[in-house]
Amino acid sequence: ESTYEPKDEL
């Protein structure tokens, strides 16, 4: 699992 997961939802 990646450590950085961008939160692209508002």
Least distance from C-beta 4 to other proteins, angstroms?
Answer: 9
Structure tokens at 1: 């699992």
Report the site for other proteins in 1-10 (rule: CB under 8 A): 5-10
Q: Which residues contact 10 (CB under 8 A, 6 or more apart)?
A: none
Least distance from C-beta 5 to other proteins, angstroms?
Answer: 6
**Dist CA 7 CA 10 (whole Å):** 8
Least distance from C-beta 10 to other proteins, angstroms?
Answer: 5
Interacting residues toward other proteins by CB under 8 A: 5-10
